[in-house]
Amino acid sequence: MIPAVSAVLLALAAAPAVFATAPHSDLKLALSSIPGRPAARRARIHAANLARRATDPLPTGTSEPLVDYFNGTDLQWYGEISIGTPPQNFTVVFDTGSSTIEVPGMACGEACVGHRQFDPSASSSFKDLQISDTLNFGTCVGVDPVDDNCELWVSLVADTFTVANFTSPEGALYSHFWLITNQTSGFLPDPFDGIMGIGADANDFFHDAGYPAIFGMLFVPENEGGAGELTLGGVDTTKFNAPLLYSPLVVNDWFLLSTGIFVNGQTTSSLQNNNTFLFDSGTSNLVLNEPLALAIYSLISPDIVANADEPGTYGIACDLISTLPAAIDITLAGIPGQDAFNLTIPSSELSSGPFKNKPELCQTLINVSDGLMFVGLSLFKHYYSVWDIDNQRLGFAPNGF
Ligand SMILES: *[C@@H]1O[C@H](CO)[C@@H](O)[C@H](O)[C@H]1NC(C)=O
Ligand SMILES: *[C@@H]1O[C@H](CO)[C@@H](O)[C@H](O)[C@H]1NC(C)=O
Ligand SMILES: *[C@@H]1O[C@H](CO)[C@@H](O)[C@H](O)[C@H]1NC(C)=O
Ligand SMILES: *[C@@H]1O[C@H](CO)[C@@H](O)[C@H](O)[C@H]1NC(C)=O
Ligand SMILES: *[C@@H]1O[C@H](CO)[C@@H](O)[C@H](O)[C@H]1NC(C)=O
Ligand SMILES: *[C@@H]1O[C@H](CO)[C@@H](O)[C@H](O)[C@H]1NC(C)=O
Ligand SMILES: *[C@@H]1O[C@H](CO)[C@@H](O)[C@H](O)[C@H]1NC(C)=O
């Protein structure tokens, strides 16, 4: 998930992604401990011993279940976190496209109705950091049109924090996060309360809790039961039975180098260029630039057309879509010493369901944007993914779905 308006991502005014959060260049501090906190510093020293070599066996970590938000199509997966002393619980989307945490606060009142709201006065460990901001988003959640109705007013705070039994030796992690103090109505339908971003630079978040900086994610589509799992500080090796294939991060973020794309086994010269994609667990489908999207669509069907009502979206008559083969192979660079490999988005992902205002037209999985390019849940649903911060690489193994 990426906000429509942020210092680094201004180009993404039509970002598809959702109730998104900010990789604020100036405030990239959630998921890090309060500077100078002695226990945290001790933990960091301890953490030096926890940094793993890429060849070490995979740690097991601690897991929690995720729930699929399905509304016509699989949209997001979310799970529970606890904040404060005593703990107050929230459901959040675990979002690799951002690196900050947002949950509703009591101050939001009616504007956050239907969502749990954090009560600072009920937490003995709460700290108000007295910084306010607004976050704007291109869309909220779902595949409905952009309506300029997705804005958050937020306030920076700090408190103890627990996720998936993931606690520091003394009981809880201390984290900065944004409390939502007001919001536009576009967020109200979301079944989850907030977002927890996990960037590729979140080393301290894991090390301070005594875990290696690695996490695993499983997203099971609705038609296979709609469950999911987040494993922090390790990998759940019971969720896949093929070797993990790794691609190195291009920068200290979840960007990978793709050296080519194939559609139903075919390719073109324009599809055999190098591209850098952000792997974003907070994006439901795919967002590519126009030349790349059109090159892929033209190998699927000439009947896929732009939907002028919603710029950046494409569709095809719903009665044609289920018969179309549309397997998309994305070739990724391997880690040093390992070959490049393909990840496959199966044909079943082509349709994101009918457009609300043109129900005879089904939305196809790739949106066009001039900004960054995102690979989202259309792909992750079919792989167990391993987000290895310590070794700056991302691993995949087919999950059987
Ligand atoms: C959390 O920890 C408790 C006690 O250690 C354990 O019983 C439980 O299974 C753990 N839950 C998860 C989801 O790991
Ligand atoms: C809060 O969340 C934790 C971890 O998911 C869970 O063990 C606990 O039962 C929850 N508490 C409440 C009041 O829901
Ligand atoms: C495509 O973009 C539109 C407009 O931003 C958005 O509403 C929709 O969710 C996106 N669709 C997909 C399939 O990502
Ligand atoms: C909250 O935001 C809405 C706009 O969505 C605005 O009309 C309202 O005045 C705001 N409320 C407060 C308390 O700032
Ligand atoms: C499903 O999406 C529609 C809009 O397309 C929305 O009105 C409705 O509230 C959503 N349902 C749920 C359960 O989120
Ligand atoms: C990727 O898949 C295509 C067929 O779609 C195949 O021609 C190509 O060799 C594969 N690349 C790798 C690295 O496996
Ligand atoms: C693509 O990237 C690879 C790996 O960095 C490099 O060897 C190759 O020359 C690049 N190809 C093009 C067309 O830029």
CATH of residue 181:
2.40.70.10
Mutate to test the pocket of ligand 3, among 287, 313, 316 (most ligand atoms within 8 A of CB): 313
- Same domain assignment for residues 196 and 260: no
- Same domain assignment for residues 257 and 160: no
Choosing from 211, 234, 257, the residue where a domain stops is 234
Question: How many separate domains does the chain show?
Answer: 2
- Same domain assignment for residues 93 and 188: yes
In the 8-state DSSP scheme, what is residue 52?
P
State the pLDDT at residue 138.
57
Q: Which ligand is nearest to the CA of 192?
A: 5
Closest ligand 5 atom, residue 190 Cα: 14
- Look at residues 118, 111, 103 and name the one whose alpha carbon lies nearest to residue 21: 103
- Same domain assignment for residues 220 and 259: no
Mutate to test the pocket of ligand 6, among 296, 329, 332 (most ligand atoms within 8 A of CB): 329
- The total of other beta-carbon atoms located within 10 Å of residue 148's CB is 11
For residue 184, being part of any structural domain is answered with yes
C-beta 285 within 6 A of ligand 3:
yes
- DSSP letters spanning 190-201: -SS-EEEE--TT
Contact 8, 23 (CB under 8 A): yes
Closest protein CA for atom 11 of ligand 1: 165
Question: Which residues, listed in sequence order, are joined to residue 5 by a DSSP beta bridge?
Answer: 136
3-state SS class at 75: strand
Catalytic residues: 95, 280
State the pLDDT at residue 154.
95
Choosing from 204, 234, 264, the residue where a domain stops is 234
Contact 338, 248 (CB under 8 A): no
Residue burial 72-103, b: 16+ Cβ < 10 Å; e: rest: ebbbbbbbbbbbbeeebebbbbbbbbbbbbbb
- Same domain assignment for residues 259 and 217: no
3-state SS class at 150: coil
Residue reference for tokens 């979140």: 202
Q: Which ligand is nearest to the CA of 331?
A: 6
Residue reference for tokens 């950091």: 129
Residue burial 2-29, b: 16+ Cβ < 10 Å; e: rest: bbbbbeebeebbbbbbbbbbbbbeebbb
For residue 209, being part of any structural domain is answered with yes
CA distance 116 to 375: 30
For residue 3, being part of any structural domain is answered with no
- Same domain assignment for residues 98 and 59: yes
285 CA distance to ligand 6 middle (Å): 22
- Same domain assignment for residues 158 and 298: no
- Same domain assignment for residues 186 and 121: yes
Q: Could you list the residue range(s) of the whole structural domain that residue 94 is in?
A: 11-234
Position 281, amino acid: S
C-beta 281 within 6 A of ligand 1:
no
Question: Which residues, listed in sequence order, are joined to residue 18 by a DSSP beta bridge?
Answer: none
- Same domain assignment for residues 186 and 259: no
- Same domain assignment for residues 41 and 62: yes
State the pLDDT at residue 46.
55
Position 355, amino acid: F
Contacts of 60 (CB under 8 A, 6+ apart): 231, 234, 235, 236, 237
pLDDT in tens, the chain (401 residues): 654 433 222 222 222 232 233 332 222 333 433 333 344 444 454 555 566 787 788 999 999 999 999 988 899 999 999 999 999 999 999 999 888 899 999 999 999 999 999 999 999 999 999 999 998 765 565 544 444 567 889 999 999 999 988 876 666 788 899 999 999 888 888 899 999 999 999 998 898 888 999 999 999 999 999 999 999 999 999 999 999 999 999 988 999 999 999 999 999 999 999 999 999 998 899 999 999 999 999 999 999 999 999 889 999 999 999 889 999 999 999 999 999 999 999 999 999 999 988 999 999 999 998 888 999 999 999 999 999 999 999 999 999 88
Predicted TM-score (pTM) of the model is 0.88
- Same domain assignment for residues 347 and 217: no
Choosing from 234, 261, 286, the residue where a domain stops is 234
Closest protein CA for atom 12 of ligand 7: 274
State the pLDDT at residue 31.
40
Position 138, amino acid: G
For residue 1, being part of any structural domain is answered with no
Residues having CB within 6 Å of any atom of ligand 7: 259, 273-274, 333
Question: Which residues, listed in sequence order, are joined to residue 101 by a DSSP beta bridge?
Answer: 196
Contacts of 379 (CB under 8 A, 6+ apart): 286, 330, 343, 345
For residue 2, being part of any structural domain is answered with no
- Look at residues 9, 25, 19 and name the one whose alpha carbon lies nearest to residue 75: 19
- Same domain assignment for residues 219 and 275: no
C-beta 390 within 6 A of ligand 2:
no
Q: Kindly report each contact of residues 118-121 with a partner whose C-beta sits within 8 Å and lies 24 or more positions away, as own/partner.
A: 118/83, 118/84, 118/88, 118/90, 118/179, 119/88, 120/84, 120/157, 120/179
342 CA distance to ligand 6 middle (Å): 6
